[in-house]
A and B are shown apart, each in its own frame.
Chain A
Amino acid sequence: MRSTARLAALVGIVALSLVGCGSSPTGSAGQPGSTATGEITVFAAASLTESFTRLGADFEAANPGARVKFNFAGSSALAQQLNQGAPADVFAAAAPANMKQVADAATPTTFARNRLQIAVPKGNPGKVTGLADFGKPDRKIALCAEQVPCGAAAKKVFGIAGITAAPDTLEQDVKAVLTKVKLGEVDAALVYRTDVRAAGDQVEGIAFPEADQAVNDYPIAALAKAPNAAGARAFVDFVLSAKGREVLTAAGFDSP
C-alpha cells in the first residue's frame, strides 16, 4: 500500500516537472507551453485562405511536433460538413450565423472582422465606379450565394444602399467570385477587402461607404469532439495571440 502511494507521489512529481518544463520561458512568443503535437485539422472560411495558411506555417514552426491541415471552403458548406460528422479540431467561420449552425462549436471567440469591397479586373474594363453599377443589367456581375457570409453581407449592403443587384452568377465561396474577376469574366464583384489585397495587382479594389455598416465578425472555436483537443486549443490561442493578430492585420482584417 505504502509503495503504491509513494509511486503515485513520484508520478505526480514527474508530471509536474514536465509541465514546468513545458511552460518554461523557452516557449515561443505568444505560445506559452507549446505542447501542441500531432495533426490539427482546421476548417476555415475561404476568405481566410492566405492568412491561415501563413498562420499554420508559423504555428508549425513554433510547435515542431504539430502539423496543421486546412479545409478552406464557403462557411455554410463547412458547417454542413461538420454537422455530418467531418473530423475537425477547429472551425473558423466568416460569420456568426454559420458558427451557430454547428452544434459542436459551443464557445466561439471573435478573432477578426472584415468588410466588403468592390473588385474589378485590372484596368476596370467595365468602368465601374460604385455600388450603383451592380444594378445595371448590362454589366456582368458576380456575387456570393446568400447562404455564404459574403453573400449575406452583400445582400445587406444592397439593402442599405437601396439597390436591386442584377448578378449573373452566385458563387459558393468568395474565392470563386474572385477567380471570375481575375479571369476578367465579370465587370465587378463584391468580395472582402482581404481578398482584394491577397489578389495583388490582378484585381483593383473600390471601397464604398455602405461596407462600414455590414462588417462581418469572424468567430473561431475549438470543436467539442475534436480528435486533437489540446492541439485545437493551442491553435485557437495562437490565432488569438499577438502574433496571430499581426498576420491578420497585415492581410487586411480589422481587430474585433
Chain B
Amino acid sequence: MIRTPESRRGRPAHGRRPVVLVLPAVLGIAFLIVPLAGLLIRAPWDTLPSRLFSAEVGAALRLSLVCASLATVICLLLGIPLAWLLARGDLPGRGLLRALVTVPLVLPPVVGGVALLLVLGRRGLIGQHLDAWFGISLPFTTAGVVVAEAFVAMPFLVISVEGALRAADPRYEEAAATLGASRWLTFRRVTLPSIMPGVVAGSVLCWARALGEFGATITFAGNFPGTTTTMPLAVYLALETDPEAAIVLSIVLLLVAVLVLAGLRDRWISGPS
C-alpha cells in the first residue's frame, strides 16, 4: 500500500477508537471544562448586573484594560526588534539569549515580582537612582503595574513574532536588498507586513497574559483600589470577604478570555501562517 505523507498525517487509521485513548481524553475534557461551568452555575445571576456595574468592578476593569494595553504597546515596541534580532541578527550565543529572554514565560510570576522589586524598587539596583535623580518610584503606582505586566507578557510576543520571522520567506528581503533598500527600509516595507499575522496573534496573547497577571503585580506594585488593584487582584481579595463578587469578577475575565480565543481562532495553535 502506498501512502503519501499527506494521507498519513491527515487521515485517521480505520477501526474503532481505542478506549484507552478515549476515556482519558473525555476525563481531560471534563477536567478542563467543568470548573468553568461551575463558575457559571454558581454565579449570582439575579444580582449580576448590579454587581457588574458597581464602582469597584468598573475601576478594576478599567485599570486592567488600560494597564494590559499599555503593557502590550511596550511589548510591541521592544519585543518586535528583539524577535528580529533573534531571528535575523546572526548573533553569537543566540540560543542562550533566546533562553534568557523567555525565562519570564516559565518563571513563577511572584519570583518575577520579587526580582523587579530588587532592581526597580526604591532601594533597588536601578530604582534607587531613578528615585534619587528623577524622583521616580515605580512600586505602588499604575506604572509599576504596567512594568510588571510587560515583564511577564513580553516573551509571548517575542516567541510568536520570532516564529513568524523564521517562517517568512527570506527571498523577498533579499530581493529588496538587491534593489538597494536598506535593512531598516526592508524591515519596514517588506518584513513587517509579511509577519503581521504573527504580530497580531502575539499581541493578543501578550495582552491576555498581561490582563490575567497576578503574582508579579501584587508583589511589585502592591494593592490599592483604583491605582494598582487589577481584576485578578480584585478576584483574589474578594474571595475572602465576598465570594459572590469574586465569581462575578471571574466571569468577566472568563468572557474576555473566550473573546480573545475567538479572535485568535486557531492562529496560535496551528502556528504562524
How many interface residues does chain A have, given as a range?
Answer: 20 to 34
Give Cα distance in the complex from A169 to B122, angstroms: 15
Are the CB atoms of B139 and A145 closer together than 8 Å? no
Collect the chain A residues with CB atoms within 8 Å of residue B227's CB. Answer: 168
Are the CB atoms of B224 and A183 closer together than 8 Å? no
Q: Does any Cβ of B come within 8 Å of A175's Cβ?
A: no
Q: Which of B140, B237, B241 is within 8 Å of A169, CB to CB?
A: B140
Give Cα distance in the complex from A145 to B242, angstroms: 14
Q: Which of A37-45, A73-81, A235-243, A244-252 contacts B (4 or more CB under 8 A)?
A: A73-81
The residue on B at minimum CB distance from A142 is B222
Considering only CB atoms and an 8 Å cut-off, how many residues of chain B contact the other chain? 22
Are the CB atoms of A140 and B224 closer together than 8 Å? no
Secondary structure of the A contact surface, majority rule: loop
Given contacts A74-B240, A80-B240, A147-B240, whether A172 and B122 have CB atoms under 8 Å apart is: no
Q: Which of B121, B139, B223 is within 8 Å of A172, CB to CB?
A: B223
Collect the chain B residues with CB atoms within 8 Å of residue A168's CB. Answer: 140, 222, 224, 227
Collect the chain B residues with CB atoms within 8 Å of residue A167's CB. Answer: 224
The count of A-to-B residue pairs whose CB atoms sit within 8 angstroms is 55
Collect the chain A residues with CB atoms within 8 Å of residue B94's CB. Answer: none
Q: Does any Cβ of A come within 8 Å of B186's Cβ?
A: no
Q: Does any Cβ of B come within 8 Å of A27's Cβ?
A: no
Q: Does any Cβ of A come within 8 Å of B194's Cβ?
A: no
Kindly name the residue among A140, A183, A186 whose own CB sees the greatest number of chain B CB atoms within 10 A. A183
Given contacts A80-B240, A169-B228, whether A145 and B223 have CB atoms under 8 Å apart is: yes
The residues of B with any CB-CB pair to A shorter than 8 Å are 117-118, 121-123, 137, 139-140, 218, 221-225, 227-228, 236-237, 239-241, 243
Given contacts A172-B236, A172-B237, A185-B140, 20 further A-B contacts (CB under 8 A): A79-B240, A80-B239, A80-B240, A140-B137, A145-B223, A147-B240, A147-B241, A168-B140, A169-B221, A169-B222, A169-B223, A170-B222, A170-B225, A171-B222, A171-B223, A180-B222, A184-B121, A184-B123, A185-B123, A185-B139
